[in-house]
Amino acid sequence: MTKPVSVAPARALPRVSVILAIAGAVFWAAGVTVGLSGSNALAAVLLRLVALALCAAATIMRSSLLSWTLLAMLSGLELGLDVPGVAVQTRFLGDLFLRLVRMIIAPLLFATITTGIAGHGQLRSIGRVAIKSLVYFEIITTLGLIIGVVAMYLSGAGWGIALPAAQTVIPGTQTVQTWQQIVLNIFPENIAQTVAQNQILQVAIFSVLFGIALALLPDNKRAPLLPVLQALADTMFRLTRIVMLMAPVAAGAALAYTVGGMGLRAMLPLAKLGVTYYLALLAFTLLVQIPSLLLFRIPLRRFIAAVSEPASIGFATTTSEAALPLAMERMEEFGVPRWIVSFVIPTGYSFNMTGSSVYLSMAAVFCAQASGIHLSVGELIAMFAVLMLASKGVAGVPRAVLVVLLATASAIHLPTAPILLILGIDTLMDMGRTLMNVVGNCIASVIIARSEGVLNLVRS
């Protein structure tokens, strides 16, 4: 009689990897604390190197794109702290990764949207999904604006800030787009130029129109093109997996460049604002996002597992664009039909920037507080009105929020000098903003799919 094979060691591996990861986090925190105190620089470095070794062992035991990305981020921080001269030279790795991602976005969107509409008979449903998506986007981003304002008034992070001397205006002040301009800019006038400029929403609109036109053709004329488009979609998803192999390297390089160029201390002068922002994002998650998922009966554990990798990539690279292809793939694997994923997520990158909404309202109130201005109820309402419009023009690229913030400050007559202060912590803020944007758009896709009755949670 054959003895059963013991599986205890296999089951123990995840536990050991968790213990190693926790130990690594403790050693890393101790190393950072000692380093900031300045008492023993060598001890600080040794503690952080031990932390890296422990985290590396945990990653090897339980390998995944997320674990390798987190390890690379930690390594990038260490490189920036210990060898800043080398760290600032690593920026090209992050730029290379972003180029590769931008290379695949346009053909990926085109192939997935057109096959979703024309290949699966969803022509009648796309208009209903569009209306549901826009209503959902507006409600969620408005709640984000409100939570940001409440958080700033509770913390008062802007009061007592010393403004830079002789700097009251930033050159090149932007103007807020009117709603007519925003609607006009949704539609491309030159598809080649749209692809070259990587205008995600315009590519999506062209793809929707192309898919509708293809669906209206007779079957004998539509049939030859559909297999080609389906093969293109499958190829682009395979290419996405290849490109994402570079994601950990890009994430580590991005943090190494930031820390090496600014230094850890230089990233913390506005710690109160940063802590307030992340607490506001936590409140938004607990009060808005999780209740939304529970209301639509979305399994939280499965969703978190599906969204963790694209969210970590967005967090590390500070651009939602880098996480777009992987987010679409993970949501399709989660059970959202391709035609919904390929419409809702790209559209959300212009209309559902939840992290940006929280950031914008907080930053606007911060500017007022830092300038000693008490906003009246009427001024707050005016600020909300401007931000509700201006935030819809925020693209999924780094630093776009600051452009909108300049425009908003000009429109509601706030001094722009405090925006210079936010630049000191903008990288840290951008990390949370991008993570929330990626997660928010993934949530939107599963909720819209559930409302349409097409969410297939049976998929593995």
Q: What is the pLDDT at residue 426?
A: 65
> How large a percentage of the chain has pLDDT more than 70?
78
Give the mean model confidence (pLDDT) for residues 261-276: 66
Is 5's pLDDT higher than 70? no
Rounded CA separation 383/380 (Å): 5
């929707």: which residue's tokens? 208
Closest CA to 71 of 89, 91, 85, 57: 57
Q: What is the pLDDT at residue 286?
A: 95
Q: Could you write out the three-class secondary structure of 380-422?
A: HHHHHHHHHHHHHHCCCCCCHHHHHHHHHHHHCCCCCHHHHHH
Is 218's pLDDT higher than 80? yes
Report which of residues 293 and 115 the model is more confident about: 293
Is 268's pLDDT higher than 60? no
Q: Which CATH superfamily is domain 122-224+268-451 in?
A: Sodium:dicarboxylate symporter (1.10.3860.10)
Residue 377: Cβ within 10 Å count:
7
pLDDT for 357-405, tens place per residue? 888 888 888 888 877 777 777 778 777 777 776 566 444 444 556 656 7
pLDDT for 82-115, tens place per residue? 888 888 888 888 788 878 877 887 888 788 778 7
Q: What is the pLDDT at residue 398?
A: 47
Question: For 114, how many CA atoms within 13 A lie in the half-sphere containing its CB?
Answer: 27
Return the structure tokens found at 60.
């090897």
Q: What is the pLDDT at residue 270?
A: 61
| Domain regions of the chain by residue span | 11-63, 122-224+268-451
Is 288's pLDDT higher than 90? yes
Q: Residues with Cβ < 8 Å from 358, sequence gap 6 or more?
A: 144, 145, 147, 148, 151, 277, 280, 281, 284, 433, 436
CA distances from 107 to 121, 211, 227, 345 (A): 21, 14, 15, 15
pLDDT for 27-68, tens place per residue? 888 887 777 677 777 888 888 888 888 888 888 887 777 778
Q: What is the pLDDT at residue 407?
A: 61
pLDDT for 177-210, tens place per residue? 566 776 787 788 888 888 877 676 688 788 888 8
Q: What is the pLDDT at residue 434?
A: 86
As a whole number, the mean pLDDT across the chain is 78
Return the structure tokens found at 188.
């491309």
